Structure 1
Amino acid sequence: MKIIDVHAHYCPRAYYAKLECRKAAPYVRALKNGALDLRYGPGRSSHVREGMYSLDRRLEDMDAKGVEVQVLSPLLHGVHRLDPKTGLELCRLVNDDVAEVVQKHKGRFEGFAVLPLQGVDESLMELERSVRELKMRGVIFFSNVEGHFLDEERFWPLYERIAALDVPIFIHPTHPVNDKGMKDYGLISTLGFLYDTTLTMLRIIFSGLLEQHSRLKFILPHLGSVVPYITARIDKERAGPTNSQRNIQRSPSEYFKLVYVDTVSLHKPALMMANSYLGSARILFGCDCPFWGMGEGLESVRDLDISERDKENIFFKNAEGLLKLA
């Protein structure tokens, strides 16, 4: 069966090289083990290993596991701390590199573009270039822009243009807006990431963005974060004495069913619940490579007690339709 992986990361070594000469965040320092230490804010760091910027082993692994296509999402932690002009320059550098990778390995990789969201005008320019000239299949947004929420009105002209271009927005977690109590035990990535994407998606729904721009297509990774499990509570609270109903005409859960999720979970009961609640037509296959392995991600879906048609939807048909790959 054909397999398209929509949740895979890559960032060119050239991006990190640009940060090596900086003294303030974001900056990079080389470690003795060969990894890079990326510091992108107070108490915010990431260990970058070779698998993030080298795709040689990635292709070997894809061949061994039967993954035909990966959609590459650049993770530019810290880029939004920079001024819009510098942010645009770095985003252009990365997007150009991803486009070169796609051309070099035709049929194996596709790309999502990264935008300098600290500058909406700059983002609009790079969006147009990335989709029309570089043929990017979508865009990747962090779940917050240095503490600013994605539903803020200043971003709405960008959403309007994205809707017109008919490409999806992949919302990827970053350091959460509220990390209190999460700095111990690895809870930032374990819980904080899911908290932040859940908060972001609910704010997008309640803001009325999907009411006004129904053509927008969002991908919420990690099986939709927490949203699928609390939709009854969300709908119930929306009906209460709050202001949450002022911008939307339908139940929040109805808007969430317009969103795509990916399979990065590994938890069979959760995967089965997502298939039951959303239907296989809204689920995309993803591995979260290079952080998680391809094999375990593949097996988590292959082992599901669902029909072959559902598995086809998840493994490749939905991605082909959403990203116009067919």
Structure 2
Amino acid sequence: MERIDTHCHIVPTGWRKWCEKYGWEKPDGMPVIPKWSSEAHITLMEKLNIKRSILSITSPGTHLKANDFELARQVTRETNDEIAQAHREYPDKFSFFASLPLPDVDGSLQEIDRVRDMPGCCGFALMTNAQGHYLGDDIYGPVFAKLNERPTVIFMHPTECCSIKNPDTEKPLPQYPTPMLEYYFDTTRAVVNLLLTETPTRYSNLTFLVSHCGAALAPLVERVGVFSTSLLKGNAKLSSDALKELLRTRFYFDLAGFPFPDLIHGYLRFGDTSRLLYGSDYPYTPQPLVENLARFMDDNVQELFSEDARAAIYHGNAERLFHF
């Protein structure tokens, strides 16, 4: 069945050099930054019947040196321009999510104006936190207000957890690669913070795309709802039913990573197939594993869902969301 890949990555040559220069040659505990070329990516797309891939960069984003806003602006501009070039070379294959130099608010506002109307731009890829500022924090207000001027998709990509006061502090369990556990926890922190700060309610033109089938959200929605309505002060008083309604109406969820056989059943407790999107996570998930996961996904999706639902998951929902 035809697919649209909403969670896959590009490794721009300039961005790789900047990462290596500032100590990100083994990002988030992974062994290397993988190789990427448009030719190899398109070959994979042809094997898996992917008609379009929405490219983005992954963690650590473009803010590579704590509090160096000028560097972040330069890296962001160069990286977005290189991603846009991939679209210009293959306009019928690649679209992209642009990056922002958060937590630099002024630089982000300038970059939104510069790139949002570039051909191929489908929205913005934001890390779950920027130097400890989680999506939903007050610092994002001007940025979200700017993005909210028109309908905009925000692709939330996990990164390592971070402290605002000590952004270079060693992270929990550093002996394990961050994507193994912490990506899921950081995604969950960011989504909960968005919900409890009422960000989706205040910015009605923003749609949030959550990685990895909602990560660790499903078993925590009831718990967050009880704390929100009974124990928290100064936060939104949202019941578990209200939280689920927001998740069903203001968020989409990709199926990158390992959503089957377990995560999908948690997701279906609060969501349905109209909000699911295909994702490969290539090339950070190597090609042989991407192909194996695609076959495994096919088997599970066929067992769980109708043909119409499968078509929606693989391409229909993305066509509707991005107007392809």
Residue aligning to 2:133: 148
Residue aligning to 1:253: 244
Q: Give the alignment partner of residue 48 of structure 1, picking from 19, 32, 37.
A: 32
**4+ long deviations beyond 6 Å:** none
Q: What RMSD over aligned residues (CA atoms) do the two structures have, in Å?
A: 2.3
**Matched AA of 1:200:** A
For residues 38-86 of structure 1, the C-alpha deviation after alignment (integer angstroms, 9 at most, x for no partner) is 46xxxx55443443x3232221111112111111111262632352222
**Matched AA of 2:220:** I
Count residues with an aligned counterpart.
307
Residue aligning to 1:115: 100
Residue 322 of structure 1 and its aligned partner are, at CA, apart by: 1.3
SS in 2 for 1:11: coil
Alignment TM-score, normalising by the size of structure 2: 0.86
Residue aligning to 1:195: 185
SS in 1 for 2:281: coil
CA distance in 2, matches of 1:128, 1:76: 23
Query: Please, which runs of 5 or more residues in structure 2 have no aligned partner?
Result: 164-169
Q: What are the within-5 Å matches in structure 2 for residues 164-243 of structure 1? A: 164-177=149-162, 181-186=172-177, 188-243=178-233
Residue 276 of structure 1 and its aligned partner are, at CA, apart by: 5.5
**Are the counterparts in 2 of residues 260 and 282 from structure 1 also a CA contact under 8 Å?**
yes
Residue 120 of structure 1 and its aligned partner are, at CA, apart by: 0.9
The farther-off stretch of 286-295 and 139-148 is 286-295
Relative to structure 1, the CA distance from residue 272 to residue 308 in structure 2 (aligned partners, 3 Å threshold; closer, same or farther) is farther
Q: Give the alignment partner of residue 124 of structure 2, picking from 115, 127, 139.
A: 139
CA distance in 2, matches of 1:100, 1:78: 18
**Matched AA of 2:273:** S
For residues 78-121 of structure 1, the C-alpha deviation after alignment (integer angstroms, 9 at most, x for no partner) is 63235222211111111111111111112111100011113111
Q: What are the within-5 Å matches in structure 2 for residues 81-96 of structure 1? A: 81=66, 83-96=68-81
**Are the counterparts in 1 of residues 125 and 157 from structure 2 also a CA contact under 8 Å?**
yes
Residue aligning to 2:311: 312
Q: What are the within-5 Å matches in structure 2 for residues 50-65 of structure 1? A: 50-51=34-35, 53-65=36-48
State the percentage of identical aligned residues: 23
Residue 288 of structure 1 and its aligned partner are, at CA, apart by: 1.0
Q: What are the within-5 Å matches in structure 2 for residues 283-298 of structure 1? A: 283-292=276-285, 293-298=289-294
Residue 248 of structure 1 and its aligned partner are, at CA, apart by: 5.5
**Are the counterparts in 1 of residues 96 and 122 from structure 2 also a CA contact under 8 Å?**
yes
SS in 2 for 1:226: coil
**Matched AA of 1:205:** L
Alignment TM-score, normalising by the size of structure 1: 0.86
For residues 238-285 of structure 1, the C-alpha deviation after alignment (integer angstroms, 9 at most, x for no partner) is 222322654669722222222111112242242244245311111111
CA distance in 2, matches of 1:19, 1:296: 30
Relative to structure 1, the CA distance from residue 85 to residue 185 in structure 2 (aligned partners, 3 Å threshold; closer, same or farther) is closer
For residues 198-217 of structure 1, the C-alpha deviation after alignment (integer angstroms, 9 at most, x for no partner) is 01110111011112112210
**Are the counterparts in 2 of residues 266 and 296 from structure 1 also a CA contact under 8 Å?**
no
SS in 2 for 1:278: coil
CA distance in 2, matches of 1:183, 1:109: 35
SS in 2 for 1:251: helix
CA distance in 2, matches of 1:212, 1:118: 20
Relative to structure 1, the CA distance from residue 124 to residue 317 in structure 2 (aligned partners, 3 Å threshold; closer, same or farther) is same
